[in-house]
């Protein structure tokens, strides 16, 4: 007499989380140095030292652990609004920002806030598996659209999938799992098409831009779609930029140009409340404000990317060059799950692509110690030979 849907979700954990738990146990059994865990996006680069300094400073204020306003401390929201406004040439105010317990809670809150009867939400394959889960938990239908051959946006395909039921498109650039960064031209084309579709259907189609990897790029510009389209909702997390994934801190930004801005923000507050989010963790609200615009040392990821990409492609692996995030999305040699299994046998843990909505790939998270990559390379070299 429990909820069957949730029981199933709890029993069949995501393949990635399952692998993460398997890796933890394996490390206990055979030693951490013998497990090559590329399963999860748990940043290995520590948070900047300024994070610790900010924690020390804020602990001197006895009110630091108190409830904040439900939408987050106003000073923190002001800091984010003014910084993002300057960076992206926007006109955000504190009242456009809602602090969340990371990007996952930002997404669940947004999907609930914009849910209307029979709502459809378009995701771009391959996609972060929890999108589908969060969309369905809010009552919506997840509509999957393929990306192009380089894992970039195929605006025509997205356009073809839009109906009067479409309530939102979810994009994620830099992308998990592919590392693709959408170009300015692509974002512009998407926004133009969405504007036309809004006129055609006379309703609102929100562009939900999930941006936890915004700062994790190696030179390529990440475009803010709020510059080209009014109905944009940004979901952001400090998990990756400041290496704070366990602390659950992020935010939602509502475009100040969204026509329904006030209703939308109210619905976000209401959804957050109904889902049990009283406020984002208070100490880390202040910490991210103090550290806004800073990042962990992402040069480590760039070094890892170059090493892994160059080596794997030299062994014969096929992979689109990733401009951002810290994932390599590699075509599996052989058929079915055989490549994944051969890796797992040798304690090399990579995430199979099935959960991301496509078959025949694995995701390799390279937010690990460079040494782990160096030690795993001969194994990767050996495995591909099995399939030749």
Q: Which is nearer to a copy of itself, 21 or 196 (CB)?
A: 21
Shortest distance in whole angstroms from residue 170 CB to a copy of itself: 14
Shortest distance in whole angstroms from residue 285 CB to a copy of itself: 8
Q: Which is nearer to a copy of itself, 190 or 280 (CB)?
A: 280
Q: Which is nearer to a copy of itself, 147 or 286 (CB)?
A: 286
Shortest distance in whole angstroms from residue 164 CB to a copy of itself: 11
- Phi, psi dihedrals of residue 5, rounded to the nearest 5°: -60, -45
Distances (CA, A) of 162 to 32, 198, 261: 47, 10, 22
Q: Which is nearer to a copy of itself, 245 or 333 (CB)?
A: 245
Report, in this order, helix, strand and coil percent for the chain, each rounded to 5: 45, 15, 40
What is the enclosing helix (H) or strand (E) of 126? none
Shortest distance in whole angstroms from residue 243 CB to a copy of itself: 6
Q: Which residues pair with 349 in a beta bridge?
A: 37
Shortest distance in whole angstroms from residue 34 CB to a copy of itself: 18
Token code pair at residue 8: 């199933």
Q: Which is nearer to a copy of itself, 59 or 386 (CB)?
A: 59
Asked if the peptide bond before residue 301 counts as cis, ω within 30 degrees of 0, the response is no
Q: Which is nearer to a copy of itself, 271 or 348 (CB)?
A: 271
Asked if the peptide bond before residue 101 counts as cis, ω within 30 degrees of 0, the response is no
Burial class of residue 83 (count of CB atoms within 10 Å of its CB; 0-12, 13-18, 19+): middle
Q: Which is nearer to a copy of itself, 56 or 149 (CB)?
A: 56
**Start-end of H helices in 153-215:** 155-161, 184-201
CB 112 within 8 Å of CB 138: yes
Shortest distance in whole angstroms from residue 248 CB to a copy of itself: 5
User: How far apart, in whole angstroms, are the C-alpha atoms of residue 287 and residue 76?
Assistant: 9
Shortest distance in whole angstroms from residue 108 CB to a copy of itself: 3
Q: Which residues pair with 37 in a beta bridge?
A: 349
**Start-end of H helices in 166-260:** 184-201
Q: What 3-state class would DSSP assign to 42? A: coil
């Amino acid at each position: 007499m429990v909820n069957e849907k949730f029981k199933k979700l709890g029993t069949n954990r995501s393949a990635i989380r399952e692998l993460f738990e398997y890796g933890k146990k394996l490390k206990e059994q055979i030693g951490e140095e013998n497990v090559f865990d590329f399963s999860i996006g748990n940043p290995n680069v520590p948070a900047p030292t300024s994070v610790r300094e900010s924690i020390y400073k804020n602990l001197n204020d006895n009110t630091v652990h108190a409830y904040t306003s439900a939408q987050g401390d106003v000073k923190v929201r002001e800091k984010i609004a003014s910084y993002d406004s300057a960076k992206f040439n926007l006109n955000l105010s504190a009242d456009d920002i809602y602090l969340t317990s990371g990007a996952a809670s930002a997404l669940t809150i947004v999907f609930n806030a914009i849910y209307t009867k029979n709502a459809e939400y378009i995701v771009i394959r391959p996609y972060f598996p929890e999108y589908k889960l969060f969309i369905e938990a809010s009552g919506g239908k997840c509509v999957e659209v393929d990306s192009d051959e380089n894992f970039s946006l195929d605006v025509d395909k997205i356009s073809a999938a839009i109906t009067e039921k479409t309530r939102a498109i979810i994009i994620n650039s830099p992308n998990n799992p592919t590392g693709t960064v959408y170009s300015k031209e692509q974002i512009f084309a998407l926004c133009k098409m969405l504007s036309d579709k809004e006129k055609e259907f006379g309703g609102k189609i929100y562009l939900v831009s999930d941006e936890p990897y915004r700062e994790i790029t190696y030179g390529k510009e990440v475009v803010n779609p709020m510059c080209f389209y009014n109905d944009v909702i940004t979901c952001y997390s400090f998990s990756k930029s400041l290496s704070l994934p366990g602390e659950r801190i992020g935010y939602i930004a509502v475009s100040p140009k969204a026509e329904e801005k006030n209703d939308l923000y109210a619905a976000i507050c209401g959804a957050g409340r109904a889902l049990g989010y009283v406020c984002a963790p208070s100490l880390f609200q202040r910490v991210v404000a103090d550290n806004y615009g800073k990042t962990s040392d992402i040069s480590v990821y760039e070094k890892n990317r170059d090493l892994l990409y160059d080596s794997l492609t030299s062994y014969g692996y096929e992979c689109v060059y990733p401009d951002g995030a810290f994932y390599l999305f590699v075509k599996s040699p052989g058929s079915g799950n055989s490549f994944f299994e051969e890796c797992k046998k040798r304690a090399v843990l990579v995430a199979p692509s099935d959960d991301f909505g496509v078959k025949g790939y694995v995701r390799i998270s390279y937010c690990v110690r460079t040494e782990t990559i160096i030690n795993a390379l001969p194994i990767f070299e050996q495995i591909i030979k099995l399939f030749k």
